[in-house]
Amino acid sequence: MQQYFVKNKIEEKEIVLEEDIAFHVQKVMRMKPQTRIRLVDADKRCYLAEIDYRKNQVFAIILDEIRESSEMNCEITLIMGLIRQEKWDFVLQKCSELGVKRIIPMMSSRNVVKTKEEKIEKKLERWNKITQEACEQCKRFEIAEVSAPIKLNHCDKYKSELNLIAYENAESISEDIRTLLNYNCKSVTFIIGPEGGFSEEEVMLCESMGYKRCSLGKRILRAETAAMYCCAVVNALVE
């Protein structure tokens, strides 16, 4: 069943669908009258609805509220070094499916990818569109938010109950992520490096802000794999 996020709060038994949703329903999906869909409104409430066509408008007839939410019991914030576009898009999509609440792109000394300030607004629009479509596909009640890129020294603004930075090197021993997480953790922030990883000085900076270094296992993971791994571990241990 197709799901859509609508911009306003649903208060009536019948609503006119927004132009982009109406186009998708009528022209892309070619839904017939009485086809059932899910609508999530601005209050993050989900409704079962039925399609109806009248003149040049597409209506949704509200049938019932769906109360069983698919949202995580633990809020995940992912701060991640920007990586190449196709891999970054993949991270946005898959981490949204895995329940991440917010994704903050981050710039550090070893970033291969740079982004120009004048292009940020357009990129943000595109990134949030990717997370919205992913959240619609997996039937979430809220859209994973993608924020504007930050510098590493601003990570203290996004701290949670548990704050971790994924890092390992020959001289240090990091605790395993599975020993740091517990089933009743309500929120967690992960910092994941870009393709080039972090310098020891950057890790020490994050530690001074209250982040704890953690290991993601015996194998060295690519940046995009590490991001998905962290979200998947939270799903397994907390949910």
Q: What is the pLDDT of residues 180-220, one digit of tens each?
A: 887 788 999 999 988 878 888 999 999 999 999 888 888 88
Averaged pLDDT, 52-71: 93
Both 23 and 135 in a single domain? no
Comparison of pLDDT for 150 and 108, the residue scoring more: 150
For 91-127, the pLDDT digits (tens) are 999 999 999 999 999 988 767 676 777 688 899 999 9
Give yes or no for a contact between 6 and 47, defined as CB atoms under 8 angstroms apart. Answer: no
Averaged pLDDT, 159-187: 81
> Where are the extended beta strands (E) located within the chain?
3-5, 14-16, 36-40, 46-54, 57-66, 75-81, 102-107, 145-146, 150-151, 162-166, 175-176, 187-192, 212-215
Other CB atoms within 10 A of residue 62 CB: 16
Number of domains forming the structure of the chain: 2
Mean pLDDT, the chain, integer: 91
Both 86 and 179 in a single domain? yes
User: 53: closest CA among 18, 21, 19, 16?
Assistant: 16
Both 120 and 219 in a single domain? yes
The span from the CA of 192 to the CA of 165, in Å, is 6
Both 98 and 41 in a single domain? no
pLDDT of residue 5: 97
CATH of the domain at 105: 3.40.1280.10
Does the predicted model carry a pTM greater than 0.85? yes
Comparison of pLDDT for 78 and 111, the residue scoring more: 78
Residue 171, pLDDT > 60, answer: no
pLDDT of residue 139: 96
pLDDT of residue 170: 45
Q: Which range marks the domain in which residue 186 is found?
A: 75-238
Return the percentage of the chain with pLDDT > 70, whole number: 96
pLDDT of residue 89: 96
